[in-house]
Amino acid sequence: MTRQKTVIVVTALAIVFAVVAAGLMYNYLQKQEQLKAGTYQTIVVAAMQIPIGSKITDTMVKTAPWPKESVPPGSASDPKALTAAGRINIKSIPAGEPITEDKLAPVGGAAGAGFMTYVVPPGHRAVTVAVNEVAGVAGFITPGNKVDVVLTTPLPGNPNETISKIVLQNVPVLATGQIAQEQKDGKPIVVPTVTLDLTPEDAENLVLAANKGPLQLLLRNYSDSAEVAGRGSTIRKVLGGAQPTVQSQPAEKIVRVIQRAPVRKKAAPPADNYSVEVIKGKDRTTRQFTPAENGQ
């Protein structure tokens, strides 16, 4: 075989192999597309972040393909089934997350019951407490967060000293909101509130604590659920055990009256006899006198 014929044969075989390989690859890709199309299902997902307690509207939802083997139970395939019925979500739903029945209030729920009655876990109680902006961590607390509750109150048995202590830990937040209260002048003011998920026993403790002093909420990291053992803090403990300086009072002067026995005067010694010279003209006479005579 000449060299020219050899080149022609090799070229022809290469073309044949290339056509066969392209055909096999095309068939493989077609089968993969068919397999992929058959393993996906269209479901309803959130088109945006849906806050808890929202009424589902058309702008909040969309459809998206989802792998059949991982479709969550209770997923919906038609957005109208959610929007037309006016369903309300009882959990916060992030964008792109499937909207399932366990995140929605029941269709046949009690009229006027609101969504909160479906949010409270069985056996628990929802307790709402009023806080200020600082106690509410400046508005950074949202439903789904977990907080610790700190009470500041006069120390039992010593009303002149105040103690701050964590009374509840790792408490889930169900909702945040506001309520209207009246001031003394009759004008309403808006007070922030936080609704917490508690056991009945913890609910009793919180209600009692709220009546004993102001409450402060401590926001936890989303993955932190460890219990912290604390004995509370007083101003004496904060200052490192410093003792208050007591100003000394000037000592009182003590005046002692010493009574002395009366001094008895000593009797004067008897006076000696004395003489008097009497001169009468030229005559001089001397007369002796005694004390007894002198007193006569």
Top mean pLDDT of 45-54, 194-203, 254-263 is at 194-203
**Residue 27 one-letter amino acid:** N
Residue 97 located in a structural domain: yes
pLDDT value of residue 185:
60
**Residue 49 one-letter amino acid:** Q
Residues 156 and 216 in one domain: yes
Residue 256 located in a structural domain: no
Residue 247 located in a structural domain: no
CB 188 within 8 A of CB 180: yes
- Residue 108 sits in a domain of what CATH number? 3.90.1210.10
19-25-30-34 Cα dihedral, nearest 10 degrees: 160
pLDDT value of residue 148:
92
Tens of pLDDT, residue by residue over 140-197, are 787 888 999 999 999 888 888 889 999 999 999 888 876 555 555 656 555 678 889 9
Tens of pLDDT, residue by residue over 29-53, are 877 775 565 688 899 999 999 888 7
Count Cβ neighbours within 10 Å for each residue of 41-75 and write b for 16 or more, e otherwise.
eebbbbbeebebbbebeeebbeeeebeeeebeeeb
Count Cβ neighbours within 10 Å for each residue of 81-92 and write b for 16 or more, e otherwise.
ebbeeebbbbbb
Between 186 and 217, residue with greater pLDDT: 217
Q: Which two tokens mark 287? A: 């007369």
Between 18 and 275, residue with greater pLDDT: 18
Between 265 and 209, residue with greater pLDDT: 209
Residues 147 and 214 in one domain: yes
The domain of 3 spans 1-35
Residues 71 and 162 in one domain: no
Residues 81 and 153 in one domain: no
